[in-house]
Amino acid sequence: MILKDGAACLRNLIHLFRPASSSLTSKLGACYFCTSHVASLQQPGKPSVFSSDDEYADLDWDNLGFSIKPADYMYTMKCSKHENFKQGQLSRYANIELSPSAAVLNYGQGVYEGTKAYRTEDGRILLFRPDLNASRMKIGAERMCMPSPSVDQFVDAVKQIALANKRWVPPPGKGTLYIRPLLIGSGPVLGLGPAPEYTFLAYASPVGNYFKEGSAPLNLYIEEEFVRAAPGGAGGVKAISNYAPVLKALIRAKSRGFSDVLYLDSVNRKNVEEVSSCNIFVVKGNVISTPATNGTILEGITRRSVIEIARDYGYQVEERVIPVDELINADQVFCTGTAVVVAPVGSITYQNKRVEFKTGSRSVYQE
Residue 299 has pLDDT above 80, yes or no: yes
Catalytic residue among 138, 212, 238, 353: 238
CA 299 to chain centre: 10
**DSSP state for residue 244 in the 8-state scheme:** G
Q: What pLDDT is attached to residue 364?
A: 83
Residue 49 has pLDDT above 90, yes or no: no
40 vs 114, higher pLDDT:
114
Decide yes or no: CATH 3.20.10.10 for domain 218-356.
Answer: yes
**DSSP state for residue 277 in the 8-state scheme:** T
How is domain 73-207 classified at the architecture level of CATH? 2-Layer Sandwich (3.30)
Residue 22 has pLDDT above 80, yes or no: no
Tell me the pLDDT band of 362, cut-offs 50, 70 and 90.
confident
Report DSSP letters for 141-185, one per residue.
HHHTT-----HHHHHHHHHHHHHHTGGGSPPTTS-EEEEEEEEEE
Mean pLDDT of 177-199: 97
**Helix, coil or strand: residue 297:** coil
| 104-156 residue pLDDT tens | 999 999 999 999 999 999 999 999 999 999 999 999 999 999 999 999 999 99
- Tell me which of 57-61, 207-211, 278-282, 363-367 is least confident: 363-367
In the chain, CATH 3.30.470.10 sits at 73-207
In 208-313 the beta strands, taken as DSSP E runs, fall at: 218-223, 260-264, 272-275, 279-284, 287-291
Q: CA angle 313-116-122, nearest 5°?
A: 80
Q: What pLDDT is attached to residue 129?
A: 96
Determine whether 238 is an active site residue.
yes
Q: What pLDDT is attached to residue 55?
A: 86
pTM: 0.86
Mean pLDDT of 265-280: 96
Q: What pLDDT is attached to residue 81?
A: 86
Report DSSP letters for 41-108, one per residue.
HSPTTS---S-SS-PPPS--GGG--SS----SEEEEEEEETTS-----EEEE-------TTBHHHHH-
**Contact indicator for 237, 299 with CB cutoff of 8 Å:** no
Q: Round to whole Å and give the CA distance between 139 and 238.
A: 9
Name every residue whose Cβ is closer than 8 Å to that of residue 333 and which is 6 or more positions away in sequence.
Answer: 280, 281, 282, 283, 327, 344, 345, 348, 357
9 vs 242, higher pLDDT:
242
Rounded to whole angstroms, what are the CA distances from 286 to 1, 89, 225, 279? 11, 49, 33, 19
**Contact indicator for 291, 235 with CB cutoff of 8 Å:** no
- Nearest Cα neighbor of 215 from 259, 171, 246, 180 is 259
Q: What pLDDT is attached to residue 216?
A: 87
Residue 365 has pLDDT above 80, yes or no: no
Q: What pLDDT is attached to residue 20?
A: 29
CB-based burial of residue 291 (10 Å sphere; 0-12 exposed, 13-18 middle, 19+ buried)? buried
In the chain, CATH 3.20.10.10 sits at 218-356
Q: Round to whole Å and give the CA distance between 182 and 203.
A: 8
For residue 48, how many other CB atoms are within 10 A of its CB? 14
Q: Quick one: what percent of the chain has pLDDT higher than 90? A: 79
Q: What pLDDT is attached to residue 82?
A: 86
Q: What pLDDT is attached to residue 24?
A: 25
**Contact indicator for 226, 289 with CB cutoff of 8 Å:** no
